[in-house]
A and B are shown apart, each in its own frame.
Chain A
């Protein structure tokens, strides 16, 4: 790095003055620190050969490393002359002649380029094409969103099953309890995860007459929070609220999972249920709305 500054140490300047408290004592202390460091290093080897132990490794490394470190610091602080220098910083901007010279050098070259304006334009066009071509691989990074965010694996007639794949009877849950359910055959489908809540049917007042989609008080909602997509796993039976453990949005189960607290702005989509001939809970359709967090074109609807 070329440097225009000239370092001119201040004439006699500050005297190479007072040494530390007592050089002999400092070097004895350093000897001790370094001896401990050496012992700790040997200790680490032994410990390692014996199989290692995390706390001892940390402590021995600490002794080894800080021993070396403090030896350096003590040496720097007490065993060198405490010379504090004041000097000129040096001029920063280049001399005027250099600035003008640089500009001239550039302009001379530039005029050679710009007079062939047609070529320059073609060159820019080629770079543009290169830029566009370079963007294509970005498209490979992921699939098109398509309708993926509008659909889950739930279909009319699919049974609700628990995590182990067992179908759920309408009478399985007692009032006040919850169960995480999936569409039968799709227990790995993350966006299909739903939470089944059994409530007293008399208390239910779901919007748009959807009470019929909750047979015997088995009301089912998407388990993905409409705020940031966390699983809404906490059920406060006393308040009939589902709560998200991430940002504490709360949803009123009796009222169509309308958000009653927190940052969520939309209700959890409901999964319309009915009971098949064998008494198992089955879906009547997919969820009533796209599940999970919001996005720009969510309004395009399912």
Chain B
């Protein structure tokens, strides 16, 4: 057969057989939530495939042209060559629109998968020793994914994305001390400078994909080396691993996931319209439209910038403008906190042991509560990013909606914090979810016919299954 012969050929040259043997027999713990990282990785592959196709037609050029294409409503309109090239992809290149829409949907799904993957890892304590490096690399991947998404979203040079880019410029400009230089160097001068599209294009198709591929490669190599975590189960200890082997079962499931994901994205790309830039119109720096919402992963910054009050700091003839606080400082604090979380947590737990068994979120109420509060906060901000749409749908003024959302953004996370904390504690001490601190109640019938009830501390149970003796 061909494969063994091939294996021998390589082994004589690379000594690859030991590695191949170990890899094919590798044990992969199985749980639906472990799929999220795979979805992110496969979305990235789909983005590279569809994006390569798009890059053959896209032109990162802001020079103005007059449109004379098949989309009649824009016939004779001045627009940038970039916008015209995206219209060409959408209306003239065969299969162009389906590729473009698959690309956009895949970007939305990838950012979502990265976020939910991070949430899964956070709430189950999978970032604890020895996996801190991978947690940090994961947060870096999240930032890179958001960055590449924003850069790509800005490329069509439509009215919606151009407005987002302008806000990005204003946030860069608001940086204390270096803001003006930063904005001028990144954007190539006072907004709107002609170089920016070309720079975003290079970032989007070369620098950021290379970085993502590199960091993702390291992320995977490390999980390969460290092996996956397991949820606690009966007779499974910290130094043992359980699951199907890579070859053939896990490999088939994973390849199947890739194709199903690609198929679903193709269905969305074909039948669910996304980012119809011909409706938004070409970017013109002196106009902006209402109901301008960015893609979902940027929604929290948009919401923060809307809700934050008009406070500027002016001291000694210098100024820290308002957009700096919600636009730069807040994301900095949130992502910085994420990055450092394994060490922040260790300050409190003093836990330096190695953990290969996951925690159920209820088992660590304070961490779960902090996570729930943070997600609630970001969720409210994301909703606030569409405050105008929300206001008009419930028929109140934007001003009233903003005032309401400001309070909600403060109160709701606090409520989430306390509710989650006490809910976890209840679940942990309840009979149905017995864990380490639960009591075992034993009822015995004595020889005389009476009943003795004894309660003892549970201790040592890692899971419901174990507690119930399954």
Q: Which residues of A contact B (CB under 8 A)?
A: 1, 3, 5, 7, 48, 51-52, 54-59, 61-77, 80, 82-90, 92, 138-139, 141-145, 148-149, 163, 180, 190-191, 193, 223, 227-231, 233-234, 244-250, 259, 261-266, 292-300
Q: Are B288 and A62 in contact (CB under 8 A)?
A: no
Q: Are B270 and A1 in contact (CB under 8 A)?
A: no
Q: Are A293 and B354 in contact (CB under 8 A)?
A: no
> Can you name 20 A-B pairs with beta carbons within 8 Å?
A58-B266, A63-B263, A66-B264, A72-B259, A73-B253, A76-B248, A82-B249, A84-B243, A142-B185, A148-B184, A229-B170, A245-B290, A247-B306, A248-B306, A261-B399, A263-B307, A265-B321, A294-B312, A295-B173, A296-B320
Task: State the total of A-B contacts with C-beta under 8 angstroms.
Answer: 280
Please give 12 more A-B residue pairs, beta carbons under 8 A apart, in addition to A88-B241, A143-B184.
A7-B27, A48-B95, A57-B266, A58-B266, A86-B242, A145-B180, A145-B181, A145-B184, A233-B287, A245-B388, A295-B173, A295-B321
- For residue B376, CB closer than 8 A to chain A, the reply is no
Q: Across chains A and B, which 3 residue pairs bring their CB atoms closest together, nearest first?
A: A58-B270, A69-B259, A294-B321
Complex alpha-carbon distance, A249 and B321, angstroms: 15
Give the size of the chain B interface in residues (CB under 8 angstroms). 104
Binds A, one of B188-196, B359-367, B447-455: B188-196
Q: Are B185 and A141 in contact (CB under 8 A)?
A: yes
Which single member of A75, A84, A228 contacts B252 (CB below 8 Å)?
A75
Residues of A within 8 Å of B255, CB to CB, are 69, 72
Q: Are A59 and B259 in contact (CB under 8 A)?
A: no
Q: Are A7 and B22 in contact (CB under 8 A)?
A: yes
Complex alpha-carbon distance, A56 and B285, angstroms: 37
Q: Are A229 and B188 in contact (CB under 8 A)?
A: no
Residues of A within 8 Å of B174, CB to CB, are 293-295
Q: Are A73 and B257 in contact (CB under 8 A)?
A: yes
Q: Are B27 and A57 in contact (CB under 8 A)?
A: no
> Which residues of B in the span 238-257 have a Cβ within 8 Å of any Cβ on A?
239-245, 248-253, 255-257
Q: Are A266 and B312 in contact (CB under 8 A)?
A: yes
Complex alpha-carbon distance, A222 and B27, angstroms: 65
Q: Are A248 and B322 in contact (CB under 8 A)?
A: no
Which residue of chain B is the closest to A195 with respect to CB atoms? B286
Q: Are B180 and A296 in contact (CB under 8 A)?
A: yes
Q: Are A58 and B269 in contact (CB under 8 A)?
A: yes
Q: Are A262 and B323 in contact (CB under 8 A)?
A: no
Residues of B within 8 Å of A61, CB to CB, are 98, 263, 266-267, 269-270
* Shortest CB distance B60–A (Å): 16
Q: Are A92 and B130 in contact (CB under 8 A)?
A: yes
Complex alpha-carbon distance, A48 and B312, angstroms: 57
* Shortest CB distance B355–A (Å): 12
* Shortest CB distance A11–B (Å): 13
Complex alpha-carbon distance, A109 and B102, angstroms: 54
Complex alpha-carbon distance, A84 and B230, angstroms: 13
Complex alpha-carbon distance, A58 and B319, angstroms: 52
- For residue B66, CB closer than 8 A to chain A, the reply is no
Known: A1-B225, A298-B319. A293 touches B253 (CB 8 A): no
Q: Are B258 and A69 in contact (CB under 8 A)?
A: yes
Known: A62-B264, A86-B241, A141-B188. A296 touches B319 (CB 8 A): yes
Residues of A within 8 Å of B399, CB to CB, are 248, 250, 261
Q: Are A297 and B180 in contact (CB under 8 A)?
A: yes
- For residue B94, CB closer than 8 A to chain A, the reply is yes
Q: Are B310 and A264 in contact (CB under 8 A)?
A: yes
Q: Are A190 and B317 in contact (CB under 8 A)?
A: no
Encoded as 1 (CB less than 8 Å from any A CB) or 0, chain B from 295 to 322 comes to 0000000000111111110100111111
> Which residues of B in the span 253-297 have a Cβ within 8 Å of any Cβ on A?
253, 255-264, 266-271, 285-290, 292
Complex alpha-carbon distance, A294 and B171, angstroms: 9
- For residue B177, CB closer than 8 A to chain A, the reply is yes
Q: Are B226 and A92 in contact (CB under 8 A)?
A: yes
- For residue B404, CB closer than 8 A to chain A, the reply is no
Complex alpha-carbon distance, A265 and B325, angstroms: 13
Q: Are B288 and A190 in contact (CB under 8 A)?
A: no
- For residue B187, CB closer than 8 A to chain A, the reply is yes
Q: Are B288 and A233 in contact (CB under 8 A)?
A: yes
Interface centre among B181, B189, B243, B256 (most CB of A within 10 A): B256
Complex alpha-carbon distance, A259 and B311, angstroms: 12
- For residue B19, CB closer than 8 A to chain A, the reply is yes
Binds A, one of B161-169, B200-208, B336-344, B415-423: B161-169
Residues of B within 8 Å of A227, CB to CB, are 170, 310, 322-323
Known: A89-B239, A261-B399, A295-B174. A229 touches B169 (CB 8 A): yes
* Shortest CB distance A16–B (Å): 11
Q: Are A54 and B98 in contact (CB under 8 A)?
A: yes
Q: Are B270 and A89 in contact (CB under 8 A)?
A: no
Known: A69-B260, A76-B253. A247 touches B286 (CB 8 A): no
- For residue B210, CB closer than 8 A to chain A, the reply is no
- For residue B398, CB closer than 8 A to chain A, the reply is yes
Q: Are A190 and B322 in contact (CB under 8 A)?
A: no
Which single member of B193, B221, B245, B256 contacts A85 (CB below 8 Å)?
B245
Complex alpha-carbon distance, A41 and B312, angstroms: 59
Which residue of chain A is the closest to B314 with respect to CB atoms? A299
Known: A262-B310, A265-B322. A85 touches B242 (CB 8 A): yes
Residues of B within 8 Å of A248, CB to CB, are 306, 387-388, 398-399, 402
Q: Are A230 and B260 in contact (CB under 8 A)?
A: no
- For residue B219, CB closer than 8 A to chain A, the reply is no
Known: A65-B266, A89-B356, A230-B288. A295 touches B179 (CB 8 A): yes
Q: Are A231 and B286 in contact (CB under 8 A)?
A: yes
Complex alpha-carbon distance, A86 and B243, angstroms: 7
Residues of A within 8 Å of B310, CB to CB, are 227, 249, 259, 262-265
* Shortest CB distance B218–A (Å): 12
Q: Are B323 and A66 in contact (CB under 8 A)?
A: no
- For residue B17, CB closer than 8 A to chain A, the reply is no
Q: Are A141 and B186 in contact (CB under 8 A)?
A: yes
Q: Are A3 and B256 in contact (CB under 8 A)?
A: no
* Shortest CB distance B72–A (Å): 18
Which single member of A68, A77, A296 contacts B259 (CB below 8 Å)?
A68
Q: Are A73 and B263 in contact (CB under 8 A)?
A: no
Residues of B within 8 Å of A51, CB to CB, are 94
- For residue B224, CB closer than 8 A to chain A, the reply is yes
Which single member of B292, B309, B356 contacts A245 (CB below 8 Å)?
B292
Residues of A within 8 Å of B7, CB to CB, are none
